[in-house]
Amino acid sequence: MYDFIVLGGGPAGYTAAERAAASGLSTLLIESGPLGGTCLNVGCIPTKSLLAAAKAYRHAAEAARFGVRAEGLSFDFGAASAWKDKTVETLRSGIAFTLKKLGVEVYAGRGRLLGGGRLALEDGREVEARNILVATGSSPALPPVPGLEGNPRVVTSTGLLSLPEPPRRLAIVGGGVIGIEFASLFSAIGVEVSVVEMLPEILPFMDAELVSIFRRSLRGIKIETGARVEAIEGGTLRYSKGEEKKSVEADLILVATGRRPNIEGIGLEEAKVAFTRRGITVDDCLRTNAGGVWAAGDVTGRALLAHTASAMGEAVVEGIGGKPRSIAWQALPWVVYGEPECAGCGMTEAAAKEAGIETKKSVLPARANGRFLAENGVTGQGGVKLLAEAGSGRILGLTIVSPYAGEMIWGAQSLIARGATVEELKGAIFPHPTVSELIREAALAL
Ligand SMILES: Cc1cc2nc3c(=O)[nH]c(=O)nc-3n(C[C@H](O)[C@H](O)[C@H](O)COP(=O)(O)OP(=O)(O)OC[C@H]3O[C@@H](n4cnc5c(N)ncnc54)[C@H](O)[C@@H]3O)c2cc1C
């Protein structure tokens, strides 16, 4: 009998296993694939490794404006892929090392809940624990579009990360985070990229005012919004925009239309764990309806992000230790790793309006900032939007479009989570010259 068994070794699962073992619980981690889950193997890390190579290439190509001339510049996709693989391998062995050091037992294979605190392993054994965490993650969701299934020109994000060569023309179905990140990456290395999005705007979770700033920087990417994909024939993507029928030709088509929770074949029915199509049903402290069974990460459908998955994994271990804790759902930071980055936390203006909250806002262009201008010039696109509650001045949301936006947003998480006001933010001292000074400027402008 273990104290704790974790099903799934992604950010939610391996973080929970590490914390549990560190606090003295006997812990078994069951993982059918490579350690690190989607994030490390086919998500956050490989994309950012390739993006780093693509950015270096673009910066070199554009460096003449600083007086730096690179002759005979070329992009070696094979070398960039090797860089990506090495990064992933290094981090993966780091996770294996930490789990071993902390005494977590790892089973390489599938697991399935049986109910009553028991799980079946692929090798026929049964294991038992006082507490079980289901952290089986998510997989790409494919829309029912004729001509999509079995089409060798169609890939998901996983397929796109293991290409031997980049395509000449890439069409992307879906203008969400994954679609836009791949669009930025491939466009930066000279691939002709088209994005087809069904909604009226790309990145629909982001504050609309800053989406329009970001869109100005998506140089060379053809974006069609309000466009419904109707069929795929070979490399032809057919879609309709209102009454108009249109198509785009591509060598490869990425389908990035969202992800679905991995809830099938893991014994949720046998263990009587409640779930919906969107994921396993949990309360704010990640408890399922079944005693001793918890769920965390993408499989809950609550936030499909690696850092929220690991935060949920940590909260589960605290819950098992008798201190159930709700994570700050109203203050989950997110980043879109485009060129430049977009990052946000808290509410958008539209969401606040829908919730009936009276707001005040400040929107500043990044060009007013010394470091931004020094590095990007007057044509650089970026900005900051700070949203606060009208009467109290409580900070509701912050959105940033700029290089390093993802590195700046963590501060907003702690401010919003503890209900800080614009007055408090005004009192903070920011180093100069940094792009983050824009955040304080936005507070002063409010
Ligand atoms: C292309 C891409 C880019 C992304 N970029 C970012 C980013 O920049 N930042 C960010 O925050 N998020 C990003 N994400 C999202 C992030 O990867 C996920 O939110 C995160 O991996 C979720 O963690 P998890 O632990 O819930 O699940 P996962 O990472 O999916 O891990 C679940 C694990 O469970 C295992 N498993 C499933 N069923 C079983 C079973 N029955 N038995 C044993 N093992 C099982 C799977 O093999 C898998 O390893 C990206 C995703 C993609 C696809």
One digit per residue, pLDDT tens: the chain, 446 residues?
A: 999 999 999 999 999 999 999 999 999 999 999 999 999 999 999 999 999 999 999 999 999 999 999 899 999 999 999 999 999 999 999 999 999 999 999 999 999 999 999 999 999 999 999 999 999 999 999 999 999 999 999 999 999 999 999 999 999 999 999 999 999 999 999 999 999 999 999 999 999 999 999 999 887 899 999 999 999 999 999 999 999 999 999 999 999 999 999 999 999 999 999 999 999 999 999 999 999 999 999 999 999 999 999 999 999 999 999 999 999 999 999 999 998 999 999 999 999 999 999 999 999 999 989 999 999 999 999 999 999 999 999 999 999 999 999 999 999 999 999 999 999 999 999 999 999 999 999 999 99
H or E segment to which residue 230 belongs: strand 228-233
- Of all protein residues, the one whose alpha carbon is nearest to atom 8 of ligand 1 is 44
Residue whose CA lies nearest to ligand 1 atom number 26: 297
Q: Take atom 27 of ligand 1 and give the residue whose Cα is closest.
A: 137
Which DSSP state fits 143? P
Distance CA 20, CA 296 (A): 14
pTM, full prediction: 0.96
Annotated catalytic residue within 305, 432, 436, 439: 432
Shortest CA distance to 181 belongs to which of 55, 302, 318, 359? 55
pLDDT attached to residue 369: 96
Ligand 1 geometric centre to CA of 163 (Å): 20
What is the number of the ligand 1 atom nearest to the C-alpha of 161?
1
Q: Which residues contact 177 (CB under 8 A, 6 or more apart)?
A: 203, 334, 336
Ligand 1 geometric centre to CA of 9 (Å): 9
Ligand 1 atom, smallest distance to 310 CA: 25
Closest residue by CA, ligand 1 atom 38: 136
Backbone angles phi and psi of 40, in degrees to 5: -75, -40
DSSP letter at 366 equals G
- Report the nearest-CA residue for atom 49 of ligand 1: 37
CA angle 337, 190, 381 (to 5 degrees): 45
Report how far ligand 1's centroid is from the alpha carbon of 90 (Å).
18
pLDDT at 211: 97
Query: Which ligand 1 atom sits closest to the C-alpha of 37?
Result: 49
What is the longest distance spanned by two Cα atoms in the chain? 69
Distant-in-sequence contacts of 142-150, Cβ < 8 A, 24+ apart: 142/255, 142/257, 143/173, 143/229, 143/255, 143/257, 145/173, 145/229, 145/230, 145/231, 145/232, 146/230, 146/231, 146/232, 147/231, 147/232, 147/233, 147/234, 148/232, 148/255
d(CA 17, CA 9): 9
Does 59 qualify as catalytic in the annotation? no
DSSP three-state, residue 260: strand
In the reported structure, the alpha carbon of residue 120 is separated from the centroid of ligand 1 by a whole-number distance in angstroms of 22
What is the Å distance from ligand 1's center to 67 Cα?
43
Q: List, chain by chain if needed, residues with CB within 6 Å of any ligand 1 atom.
A: 7-13, 30-33, 37-39, 43-44, 47, 110-111, 135-138, 157, 178, 262, 266, 297-299, 304-307, 309, 337
